[in-house]
Amino acid sequence: SSESASGASPARVSALRAEAEALYLGTRPKTRAAAGATAHLYDGVPMHWMSDWSTPVPLIVDRAEGARLTDIDGHAYEDFCLGDTAALFGHSPPALVEALARQIPRGLASMLPTPDAGLVGDLLAARFGLDLWQIATTASDANRFALRAARAATGRPRILVFDGAYHGAVDETFVELSPAGLPRNKPSLVGEPRDLTALTRIVPFNDLAAVEAALADGTVACVITEPVLTNCAMVLPEPGFHAGLRELCRRHGTLLLIDETHTLSTAPGGYTRLHGLEPDLLVIGKAIAGGVPTAVWGMSEAVAARFKAAKAEAADGHSGIGTTLSGSPLQLAALRATLEAVATPEAYACMNALADRMEAGLARVIAAASLPWHVARCGARVEVVRAPVPCRNGGEAKHAHFPALEAAVHLALLVRGVLISPFHDMMLASPATSEAQVDRLVEATGEVVGRLA
Ligand code: PMP
């Protein structure tokens, strides 16, 4: 079967899964009872992705502190998922808690700026290098708004995305290349009657010739990309890819939108600042306000001027950009605290040192089990990739995805008190994570992969 291409025998995967499932259910009476009593949530969860974890019934979290979760049955978990990056700096960091406690009694939603607003703009510009900023509530929204701004600024209809990328609930990015290399809507989409490829071009990551061909007719407003693809395992840019992409966009009058939502794990100014990328637009969500629902999008001065001119020409009324709770007092307080006191250079030094330890430890136990996998890395983000060599694009990364194996590994780790990201094998190091927690992750992974080899 295709699962056996992972290097693990399907029989061992099933045995590991069955044992973990029995242990999970056998030691969690309150969790089981809660699942049985939840009648009025679709799929039994407040957001249906929560039923995509590997557990037979949802894990219900009583508390999340630092880099540890405790469930309602009292089991503790070393948390390396960290809310799929939203808690990259640890759960409820003290400086954020204090800032929220100050703001909460002073109003949550006025649709007007607080004194923190201008300061937040200055902090974002200084850290990420773009001139003009707006606040949104999710990274999905921020990407949608930035794409709209790019189209308004250029007057062009199309966008370009890379195969295997994920940018949130942004309809027009829900496309992929079929196994035959043809663009199409993602087959898993529901409720999408439109052919999304009409206005979205899609090419493989790390393929500058394909980018050039897609931009040549001058109809593409914007290329949207993560610096490193982090949602299809992990695909790193080849040397020269980003420089070439920047150059091609300039040559064809196409704007470059970098989505740093996950690669904020790299450094205080993201991958963009560390590697000197020069995006025209930048989006960051999830961890940017420490877990308070917030995202930001920035524009260069030149793009902002063109956007402003387009907006001035449009009829009065709704621009299609913005949501009511965006830029709220709570978001501004959270952004300020995160930028000033949480996502500091010292925090990143600590996260990167822990990720070094994690990367080396995981590589060691995988090699000891002789599995044909490797470890990829983007700052504090570490990924076990189920392929012997790095993937160059989303198509290759799809072949390194083995759902039954991954679910069995995740559940086997979970019953050993270690939580990793549910959708692939991603692990994050936060400033609240300890070396002992990293060692526990490595030890538990060693035990689990030892069962598969
Ligand atoms: N951009 C990237 C790179 C992401 O990984 C995600 C979510 N995984 C998003 C945007 C969307 O974030 P949200 O679901 O918080 O809107």
In this prediction, residue 299 has a pLDDT band, given cuts at 50, 70 and 90, of: very high
ipTM value, please give it.
0.99
In this prediction, residue 113 has a pLDDT band, given cuts at 50, 70 and 90, of: very high
The Cα–Cα gap between 332 and 180 comes to: 47
Distance from residue 168's CA to the centre of ligand 1 (Å): 4
29-88 pLDDT per residue, tens: 999 999 999 999 999 999 999 999 999 999 999 999 999 999 999 999 999 999 999 999
The finding on whether 226 has its CB within 6 A of some atom of ligand 1 is yes
The finding on whether 17 has its CB within 6 A of some atom of ligand 1 is no
Which mutation among 262, 284, 326 tests ligand 1's pocket best, with the greatest number of atoms within 8 A of CB? Answer: 262
Extract the tokens encoding 183: 């663009």
Q: Which strands form 418-419's sheet, in the order they lie side by side?
A: 61-65, 68-71, 76-79, 418-419
Give the residue whose CA is nearest to atom 8 of ligand 1. 168
The Cα–Cα gap between 166 and 271 comes to: 17
Residue 128 confidence (pLDDT): 98
Phi, psi of 64 (to 5 degrees): -130, 120
- 242 is a domain residue: yes
206-243 pLDDT per residue, tens: 999 999 999 999 999 999 999 999 999 999 999 999 99
The finding on whether 260 has its CB within 6 A of some atom of ligand 1 is no
> What DSSP designation does 274 have?
H
Distance from residue 10's CA to the centre of ligand 1 (Å): 32
- Chain centroid to CA 232: how far? 11
CATH number, domain at 278? 3.40.640.10
Averaged over 312-333, what is the pLDDT? 96
Distance from residue 119's CA to the centre of ligand 1 (Å): 25
- Please state, as a whole number, how many other Cβ atoms lie within 10 Å of the Cβ of residue 276: 10
The finding on whether 263 has its CB within 6 A of some atom of ligand 1 is no
Residues 290 and 397 in one domain: no
The Cα–Cα gap between 277 and 226 comes to: 11
Segments forming the whole domain that contains residue 287 = 95-342
Residues 365 and 221 in one domain: no
End-to-end CA distance of the chain: 17
Distance from residue 142's CA to the centre of ligand 1 (Å): 10
In this prediction, residue 119 has a pLDDT band, given cuts at 50, 70 and 90, of: very high
Of all residues in the chain, the percent with pLDDT exceeding 90 is 98
Distance from residue 140's CA to the centre of ligand 1 (Å): 6
In this prediction, residue 91 has a pLDDT band, given cuts at 50, 70 and 90, of: very high
Residue 5 confidence (pLDDT): 85
- 85 is a domain residue: no
Structural domain ending residue among the three candidates 342, 370, 385:
342
Distance from residue 166's CA to the centre of ligand 1 (Å): 7
Which mutation among 47, 137, 140, 297 tests ligand 1's pocket best, with the greatest number of atoms within 8 A of CB? Answer: 140
Residue 453 confidence (pLDDT): 84
Is the Cβ–Cβ distance between 320 and 147 less than 8 Å?
A: no
**Tally of domains within the chain:** 2
Structural domain ending residue among the three candidates 299, 321, 342:
342
Q: Is the pLDDT of residue 2 over 80?
A: no
Residues 325 and 206 in one domain: yes
Q: Amino acid identity of 32?
A: R
Residues 251 and 387 in one domain: no
Residues 192 and 323 in one domain: yes
Residues 337 and 274 in one domain: yes
Residue 62 confidence (pLDDT): 98
DSSP state letters, 208-265: HHHHHHHHTTS-EEEEEE-SSB-SSS-BPPPTTHHHHHHHHHHHTT-EEEEE-TTGGG
CATH number, domain at 359? 3.90.1150.10
Q: Amino acid identity of 152?
A: A
Half-sphere CA count of 185, side-chain side, radius 13 A: 14
In this prediction, residue 3 has a pLDDT band, given cuts at 50, 70 and 90, of: confident
Is the Cβ–Cβ distance between 428 and 358 less than 8 Å?
A: no
Residues 144 and 233 in one domain: yes
The Cα–Cα gap between 212 and 70 comes to: 50
Averaged over 97-119, what is the pLDDT? 98
SS (H, E, C) 286-323: HHHHCCCCCEEEEECHHHHHHHHHHHHHCCCCCCCCCC
Q: Is the pLDDT of residue 1 over 50?
A: no
Which of helix, strand or coil describes residue 135? strand
The finding on whether 231 has its CB within 6 A of some atom of ligand 1 is yes
405-438 pLDDT per residue, tens: 999 999 999 999 999 999 899 999 999 999 999 9
Structural domain ending residue among the three candidates 307, 342, 377:
342
Residue 219 confidence (pLDDT): 98
The finding on whether 424 has its CB within 6 A of some atom of ligand 1 is no
Q: Which residues contact 360 (CB under 8 A, 6 or more apart)?
A: none
Residues 336 and 365 in one domain: no
Q: Which atom of ligand 1 has the smallest separation from the CA of 142?
A: 16
Residues 42 and 156 in one domain: no
In this prediction, residue 133 has a pLDDT band, given cuts at 50, 70 and 90, of: very high
Q: Which residues contact 437 (CB under 8 A, 6 or more apart)?
A: 67, 68, 78
Residue 240 confidence (pLDDT): 98
Angle at CA 21, nearest 5°, toward 4 and 7? 15
The finding on whether 156 has its CB within 6 A of some atom of ligand 1 is no
What rounded mean pLDDT belongs to the chain?
Answer: 97
